[in-house]
Structure formats: C-alpha cells, structure tokens
Amino acid sequence: MIHIAHWIGGAERAGESGRFGPVFNPATGEQIAQVDLASAAEVAGAVASAKEAAKAWREASLSKRSAVLFKFRELLAARTGELAAIITREHGKVLADAAGEVARGLENVEFATGVPHLMKGGFSEQAATGVDVYSIRQPLGVVAGITPFNFPAMVPLWMCATAIASGNAFVLKPSEKDPSAANWLAALWAEAGLPEGVFTVVHGDKEAVDALLTHPDVAAVSFVGSTPIAKYIYETGTAHGKRVQALGGAKNHMIVLPDAELDAAADAAISAGYGAAGERCMAISVVVAVGEIADPLVEAIRARLPKVRIGDGADPNSEMGPLISAQHRDKVAGYIAAGEEAGATVITDGRKADNLPEGGFFLGATLLDDVTPEMTVYTDEIFGPVLSIVRVDTYAEAVQLVNDNEYGNGTAIFTRDGGAARRFQFEVNAGMVGVNVPIPVPVAYYSFGGWKASLFGDTHMYGPDGIHFFTRGKVVTSRWPDPGTSSVDLGFPQTR
Ligand code: NAD
C-alpha cells in the first residue's frame, strides 16, 4: 500500500495525526494508497514553515522568481506524461484528457513567467508641485489553495503559478481523493529551484481546511469545489479576516438555435457532456434545443453515443473513464432514476450499458429528453455522464432558462447567426460564454470565473485577476524638496 505524506519545508513529511484516507484506482475499484489527513497542529506547523519562507521569497528579485518559473515550465512540459499517468491512476480520466489538463495548467505557468511585467505599478510625475505619486503591488505572505478532485493538477496550477510568482508562499490542501499530483508538483518546484517552504502540501479533510480558514497567518484562501463548500469557505474565511475567492459548482447550458450546424452541435454536445465522464465544472449538462432542431439534434446525439469507447483511462483506446468513487457512481445513477420517475424520456440509459469494464466505478453515457426545470436532473449539479435535453420554442425562452438558473459558470450558444450570438453574449448571466465553443475555459491571460452560485467573492481565478488576488496595492506619495524650500503649512494637502 502506497503511503502519501505531506510536503512541508521542502521535503515529504509523514503525518502524525494517525488519520488516513483511502485512495482508489477508479478503473479497477481497488484501493491503491492511503493519504495522511492532517490535524490542526500539523497545519499550524506547515503554515509556520511557509511564513518563514515567505519572508525570504518576497525579497527575491523579480528576475529570480521569473527564472524559477521558466525552469518549472520546462520541467512540466517535458514530463507531462508522467503527471498525466498519476492523474489517470487516481482520478480515472483518460490519459489524453489528463495531458490536456496539464497543458491548460502549463499555460498558467507561462503567464506567470511574465511576473516582472505583471507586477508593474503606475507612476505620476509632478502630481503636485515637486510631488510624485506611484503605486506598487506587494505579496500577501502565506496564501492557501483548497482544490477539488476533478482537476488534481490544473486547478492547483491555476493558483500556485500566480501566487508564487507574485512573491507569496503557497500552501496547498488538495482533494484527498487524488492527492498524488500535488506531491509530484511539489517535487518539481523543488527541482526548479524554488526555495524550501514556498510550496507546501498538507493533505487532509475538513479538519485541515478549517485549520487553514481560521489560522491568523493565512492571508488569503483560493478555493475551487462544490457550491455548498464554496459558500462555507467564503463565509468562514472572510469572517476570519481573509481575502477569499471561492469557485463553486455549475449547471452549464448549451443553447442550440434552429439554424445551428447540426453535426457540429451534436459533436460538441457529446464532447462537452461526456468528456471526463461529465466530471468537469465546465461540462455541458443541459442542451436547450430551440424549435424544430430538437428532433434531429436528439437523434444525432443518440446515434453518436454507442461509439464512445468506455474503459480504463490508462488504455489509449478509451475515450471515457470511470467516475471518482462507487458512492458517486451510485448517486449519479440515482439521478437517472429520479429523472425517469419524474417523466423524462430515457433515450440512452447508462445504467444498462453493456460495454462497461468489470470492477471499476463505471457508468455508461446517459441521454435524457423532455427534461423540465422542476426535475432534480435539471436543478442539481449531477457531475456525471448524464446529458439532459430541454425543449423550448424560442431563443428568449432559452436565455431565460440560463438566466433563471442558480448557477452561472459557463454557457454556450450554437448558431450561424452573428446577431443572435452577440445578443446572447450581451444578455446572458454567466461568467464564461462560448459562441459555437462548448467549453469556453478562458486562456491564461484572461481570468476564469462564474457568476451567481458558481463564485463567491469578486475576483476570478488566474490571469490578471489572479495577480490582483494574491497581491495588495500600495500608493506612495513622495516629495524630495530642494534644501531651504521647507515651510510649515497646517492646511489639508492639496495638489495645486
Ligand atoms: P468538494 O466541494 O467536495 O471538495 C473540494 C475541496 O473541499 C476538497 O479539497 C475537500 O477536501 C474540501 N472539503 C470537502 N468537504 C468539506 C467540508 N465539509 N469542509 C471543508 N472542506 C471540505 O468538491 P469535489 O467533489 O472535490 O469537486 C467537484 C466540485 O467542484 C463540483 O461541484 C464542481 O463543479 C466543482 N468545481 C468547480 C470549478 C470551478 O471552476 N467553478 C472547477 C472544478 C470543480
């Protein structure tokens, strides 16, 4: 049995709490490792080590920090396959998808290599006579990241690249379901020359999270996970005086207008609905078919489903892997049953799929038609390979559905009408919008974030918002008077 330890002070550190969590290979259903679960005291030790490291790291020049990021980028690019294999083994997603996740994380590292430019402030000469004013951005100190199971490398990279580049020490509390990617990243940072303690990993569950949320030396918490936990993180962290950005769950709608290119829309629905077995916060879970395209669209999606190759993610022939756990698979199957019960038409039933491998946490791809907004398959984030079709008559009804939804992470429209697409972009209430693009995850030099129950806080993740989140502004007003020009003036300083 592999033992997964913490990473503190630049090296692996075995836990002392006596508590462990099981780690499974979802493709076989076997437990392959156990991970240490930190106590509050162990978290305090990790934060103390990070605090020491932060003091020295903020003194490191911008070019030194940038050099470490460049080195880290080179190592990560060269060893993507190694990390992808670790992700597949513990998460279950197929290797190509895992490599794609690493590639999207790599983008964030590339963005952060530009830290000398990103940390630039402004300068106003002669703001008043003989007075100059300038702004600078400074790191916060120790910052924490708490991440979900579904992107065990990309989401930590979203956070740590900008946090570290901007001069902070970063403490990661990864998902306890697939924790090995975090330790692999820690070792890579060390190899890239990052000083000890600037990147720390504490494994754990609620106890470790609560310890971070309440620790006085943690200045900021960046969180990605489900909406109820995101809300809890935001409320608890801010109540303890921290800066918090907490990204939550999603229910992403893809609107297909009658003039859309049918095959492209069906391909997109399959890719975005069933990729990573639907365990993506940007997965499409609802297709809103407008008008007469509904029948041919449902048929086109149905016809494609049997061709999706389900299997162990480590097999290069597999296109869709298992779900993260047996409990989660059963919960998703329960949603399909509830949808059927509530009157949805089950076009393809993943519970009855005959092409599933033995042993793992597999569930077949499911397509539900005639779904209505009251059904739990519509209201809840299922986070599995279940695509719901909602039929509406008009574009206006389709947009209303998206805007009335509790979540507002991503959404997409499929159409050949540029005017309709522009109107959609203008009036839809979601943070990330795709036009004939089903998964509009922003490139690293923009920022990622949803609206409504998909994000608590106001700054989005990575990109310019990431630099802003992990730094605070300071404005300096300075005068260097000529000798002999000094005088007493009790009036309020004015700029003329
Ligand atoms: P989760 O909320 O269960 O767990 C996320 C993190 O919170 C983990 O590190 C976990 O250990 C911790 N946690 C869990 N329960 C806790 C509790 N009671 N108190 C304190 N900490 C707790 O999420 P998950 O199942 O790992 O990930 C899937 C969810 O994440 C989905 O809802 C998905 O939409 C969401 N997600 C959102 C985004 C986004 O960018 N908005 C990206 C990826 C995933």
The pLDDT of residue 294: 98
Q: What is the overall mean pLDDT for the chain?
A: 97
Nearest residue to 298 via CA among 394, 410, 391, 176: 391
**What parts of the chain have a pLDDT lower than 50?**
none
Nearest residue to 82 via CA among 221, 198, 183, 166: 183
CB under 6 Å to ligand 1: residues? 146-151, 173, 175-176, 205-206, 209, 224-226, 229, 247-250, 281, 381, 383, 409, 450, 454
The pLDDT of residue 496: 66
Q: Which atom of ligand 1 is nearest to the CA of 228?
A: 2
Residue 148 Cα to ligand 1 midpoint, Å, equals 4
Residue 372 Cα to ligand 1 midpoint, Å, equals 27
State yes or no: ipTM above 0.85: yes
Q: Could you tell me which residues come within 8 angstroms of residue 420 by beta carbon, excluding any fewer than 6 positions away?
A: 257, 395, 413
Q: Which atom of ligand 1 is nearest to the CA of 409?
A: 41
Beta bridge partners of 12: 7
Q: Which residues are catalytic?
A: 281
Residue 150 Cα to ligand 1 midpoint, Å, equals 9
pTM: 0.97
Residue 350 Cα to ligand 1 midpoint, Å, equals 25
Tokens standing for residue 7: 């990473």
Q: At what angle do helices 95-112 and 62-78 cross, to 10 degrees?
A: 160
Q: Could you tell me which residues come within 8 angstroms of residue 385 by beta carbon, excluding any fewer than 6 positions away?
A: 273, 274, 277, 278, 320, 323, 332, 350, 363, 364, 365, 366
